[in-house]
Structure 1
Amino acid sequence: MNPRRVDAIVDLGYGVLIFVSILLIVSVGTLVGLAFGLGVLISYALHVGWKMARFDPEWMSRAVEEAVEKTVGEQVDAVQEQIETVDQRIDRRPREEEIEDLLEETGTDETEETSDR
């Protein structure tokens, strides 16, 4: 059998099961229909995952890899911004030599004022 035909038949079967769940909701009760419909949707999700893996076995690896790259990239960008902010704060602070020079100038100015009196 042609795999595409089998997939089409299975997809059609899932559609019929979803329709049956709607009929169950209307005729039997909401709880039974929802339980059946939820089971159909979960099994359909598994079927789609299996189908994707069969046609392209690397799709899940690529999807996970892309998601991880995106997440890590965003986190690295955030950390880089924080590092740049800290660097800017550090650059604004006076250096030890500048402080010593200011203290020496202040000390020299005070000494001259005291000797002038």
Structure 2
Amino acid sequence: MNPRRVDAIIDLGYGVLIFVSVVLIVSVGTLVGLAFGLGVLISYALHVVWKMARFDPDWMSQAVEQTVEETVEETVSEQVDAVQEQIETVDQRIDRRPREDEIEELLEETVTDEREDASDR
């Protein structure tokens, strides 16, 4: 038998079962019909996953690969942003520190002031 024909028959069968669940909801009661309909929908979802895996075996790996790429991209982006913020903070701290030539000037001024104070005594 042709696989596409079998899949079409199965899909029609699921359609009939969903119709039966609607009829059960109307005639027997909501609880029975909903339980039957939920079972049909879950089995149909499993059937679709099986069909996708059979016709396109790489679809699951492609979906996982895409999800992993997006997650890694977001994580790396967040980490790069955090590192950039830390670098900016360090740069600000470095800019606040006195430079070597400023320290030398302050030392010279202090030494000069102390010599003047000592000579005034």
Say whether the fold is shared (TM-score over 0.5).
yes
Runs (5+) with no aligned partner, structure 1: none
Letter matched to residue 46 of structure 1? L
Instruction: Please say which structure displays the higher CA radius of gyration.
Output: 2
Instruction: Please list every run of at least 4 consecutive aligned residues from structure 1 whose deviation after the TM superposition is greater than 6 angstroms.
Output: none
- Unaligned stretches of 5+ residues in structure 2: none
TM-score normalised by length of structure 2? 0.81
Query: How far 1:30 moved relative to its partner?
Result: 1.4
Which of the pair has the greater relative contact order for Cα pairs under 8 Å at 6+ separation? 1
1:85 deviates by 1.1
1:33 paired residue number: 33
Aligned to 1:47: 47
Aligned length: 117
Say which is worse superposed, 102-111 or 43-52, in terms of deviation.
Answer: 102-111
SS of residue paired to 2:98: helix
Paired position in structure 2 for 1:76: 76
Deviates more, 1:26-35 or 1:42-51: 26-35
Distance across 2 between alignment mates of 1:100 and 1:41: 76
Deviation at 1:76, TM superposition (A): 0.9
CA RMSD of aligned residues (A): 2.4
Percent identity between matched residues is 62
Deviation at 1:102, TM superposition (A): 4.0
Matched residues in 1 for 2:23 and 2:109: separation? Answer: 96
> Is residue 92 from structure 1 mapped to residue 105 from structure 2 by the alignment?
no
1:21, distance to aligned residue in structure 2 (A)? 1.0
